[in-house]
Amino acid sequence: MGRTLSTITQYLNETETMLSSFRRALRRSDQYIFDGIFASARKHITAIGQTDSLLPFETVLLAMLLEQSKEISALRQEIEQKRNG
């Protein structure tokens, strides 16, 4: 299992490296967001390593979407609490 995590971590690092030109072309504020998106995928590195049927980057994208959805949900709850309180 440790080997799988290492491989997935390595894959994620390589993907970030391949996208480095894209990142550099972004505005600095967008670079910060871009880095955060990859950081959110790293929170789910174990789950990404457990997926056999998808391409690795497809699973990375799902992990990123999961974190964004959690953030949106938390913000919605915060707005709702402020409206009701």
Whole-prediction pTM = 0.72
pLDDT tens for residues 32-49?
A: 999 999 999 999 999 988
The region that residue 55 occupies, defined by phi over 0 for left and psi between -120 and 50 for alpha, beta otherwise, is: beta
Residue 18's domain spans which residues?
2-84
Query: Alpha-carbon distance 24 to 28, whole Å?
Result: 8
Counted domains in the chain: 1
Each residue's pLDDT tens digit in the chain (85 positions)?
455 667 889 989 999 999 999 999 999 999 999 999 999 999 999 998 888 777 888 989 999 999 999 999 999 999 999 999 8
- Per-residue pLDDT at 34: 93
What pLDDT was estimated at residue 5?
63
